[in-house]
Amino acid sequence: MRIVLISTPIGFLGSGKGGGVELTLNSLVSGLLSLGHSVEVIAPKHSKLYKGNEQAKLHFVEGEDQISWQHQNYNSPVTIPDNSLLAGMLEKGLDIAKQSDVLLNMSYDWLPIWMTLNVEIPIAHIISMGSESLVINNLIAKVYAKYQYNFAFHSRIQANDYPFIKKPTIIGNGFKLDNYIFQDSMKGPLAWVGRVAPEKGLEDAVYVASELGEKLNVWGFIEDETYAQNIEQSFPQGTINWMGFLSTDKLQKDLGKCRVLINTPKWNEAYGNVIVEALACGVPVIAYRRGGPSEIIQHGQTGFLADPDDKETLLAYVKIIENIERKNCREWVEKNASTDIFANKVVNWLNKVIKEYK
């Protein structure tokens, strides 16, 4: 299959601004290449694909980023800036896709979804968020009425945000297992990983650390400085160890030494890449029973799930985290979320999409 991928219109690949989509795109490219498919990627200037993905052709586009939908009001109209990166990527993608089988869009935005109704080229969409915008929600419903296979979701619970989709395609996500080393250190520090932004609920994990009188190691791109400072000031000085945004290789080395990852999203997280990355290193995860994390974590086997926003239960679970066998965590990823498993699901789905157009 010849597949053209459109990246996120927020930040170049490797910047961290695009969140989990950056890793998902790379995992998908590597899974598709290993299955023998041909892949081209349209991405913002300065983007880099991971080592091993060199066979995929990378096309650069320059332009202005979109505004992230999770930081706008649900009823906000669509904004397209002058010299739009998204429009540029779409233009290039549509042009290259004339020689390909399918255009696979990974940006959560209005324009590529609308375009599905207006071109003959199949455009398939990996929806990377829950419902964060009325205008996108209604557009998905409209496109779905004509093309029922063109959307895929990372988790069932994410797809529930789009109740008009009757039998949603769930593709999960994929991780290149060679990139993560299993570590058996049960006595390490506490970890939190993610974009530092309100929907990620960092404050609840800091609360747990401060109640235990411990430090919390925090890795990730600081998207909202004011939010980060407010949290820092609300807890005893030095509770947060800011570790910065690291490459996957460096991140997994440090993360693997931790005894638990505390994951605290306040929104309907579509999936939660960082959970699986921790599990792949043997690190159990404690999260709320909400969004993607509640589908990934096997309660009592690979971590624990607390009721949404119940910080006291998070704390109680951290105290008994040594009951989780770290090898269970790695095994779950091997059986459920490798790049091959992921790429196979995506290819099966894309075959259905392409068939509709024949």
What is the nearest approach in angstroms of ligand UDP to the Cβ of residue 241?
Answer: 13
**CB atoms closer than 10 angstroms to residue 262:** 29
What is the nearest approach in angstroms of ligand UDP to the Cβ of residue 16?
Answer: 6
Binding pattern for the stretch 23-52 against ligand UDP, x by CB under 6 A and - elsewhere: x-----------------------------
User: Smallest Cα–Cα separation from 37: which of 293, 358, 346, 261?
Assistant: 346
Residue 171 sits at the vertex; the CA angle it makes with 147 and 353, to the nearest 5 degrees, is 25
Q: Measured between alpha carbons, how far is 255 from 253 in angstroms, rounded to an integer?
A: 6
Does residue number 219 form part of the binding site for ligand UDP (CB under 6 A)?
A: yes
Q: What is the token pair recorded at 246? A: 């690291």
What is the nearest approach in angstroms of ligand UDP to the Cβ of residue 266?
Answer: 11
What is the nearest approach in angstroms of ligand UDP to the Cβ of residue 292?
Answer: 8
Helices (H), 217-306: 225-234, 248-255, 273-280, 293-296
Query: Hey, what's the torsion of the CAs at 315, 316, 318, 319, to 10 degrees?
Result: 130
Position 335, amino acid? K
Position 34, amino acid? S
Interhelix angle 326-336/273-280, rounded to 10 degrees, is: 120
Tell me whether residue 106 or residue 193 sits nearer to ligand UDP (CB atom). 193
Query: Within 122-141, which residues bind ligand UDP (CB under 6 A)?
Result: none
Q: Measured between alpha carbons, how far is 55 from 33 in angstroms, rounded to an integer?
A: 8
What is the nearest approach in angstroms of ligand UDP to the Cβ of residue 352?
Answer: 25
Q: What is the token pair recorded at 134? A: 């009325």
The site for ligand UDP, by CB under 6 A, has a size of 18
Of 274, 281, 343, 350, the one binding ligand UDP (CB under 6 A) is 274
Tell me whether residue 101 or residue 223 sits nearer to ligand UDP (CB atom). 223
Query: Hey, what's the torsion of the CAs at 11, 12, 14, 16, to 10 degrees?
Result: 0
Does residue number 193 form part of the binding site for ligand UDP (CB under 6 A)?
A: yes
Does residue number 245 form part of the binding site for ligand UDP (CB under 6 A)?
A: yes
Q: Measured between alpha carbons, how far is 311 from 204 in angstroms, rounded to an integer?
A: 6
Stretch of 3-11, 134-142, 271-279, 307-315 contacting ligand UDP, by CB under 6 A: 271-279
Tell me whether residue 153 or residue 271 sits nearer to ligand UDP (CB atom). 271
Does residue number 201 form part of the binding site for ligand UDP (CB under 6 A)?
A: no
Of 40, 109, 277, 295, the one binding ligand UDP (CB under 6 A) is 277
Q: Measured between alpha carbons, how far is 222 from 303 in angstroms, rounded to an integer?
A: 26
Does residue number 286 form part of the binding site for ligand UDP (CB under 6 A)?
A: no
Tell me whether residue 21 or residue 321 sits nearer to ligand UDP (CB atom). 21
Stretch of 80-88, 112-120, 159-167, 190-198 contacting ligand UDP, by CB under 6 A: 190-198
Does residue number 17 form part of the binding site for ligand UDP (CB under 6 A)?
A: no
Q: Measured between alpha carbons, how far is 124 from 122 in angstroms, rounded to an integer?
A: 6
Stretch of 16-24, 43-51, 81-89, 343-351 contacting ligand UDP, by CB under 6 A: 16-24
Does residue number 220 form part of the binding site for ligand UDP (CB under 6 A)?
A: yes
Does residue number 248 form part of the binding site for ligand UDP (CB under 6 A)?
A: yes
User: Smallest Cα–Cα separation from 188: which of 89, 265, 260, 101?
Assistant: 260
Q: Measured between alpha carbons, how far is 341 from 54 in angstroms, rounded to an integer?
A: 21
User: Where do contacts with ligand UDP occur on this chain (CB under 6 A)?
Assistant: 16, 19-20, 23, 193-195, 219-220, 245-246, 248, 251, 271-274, 277
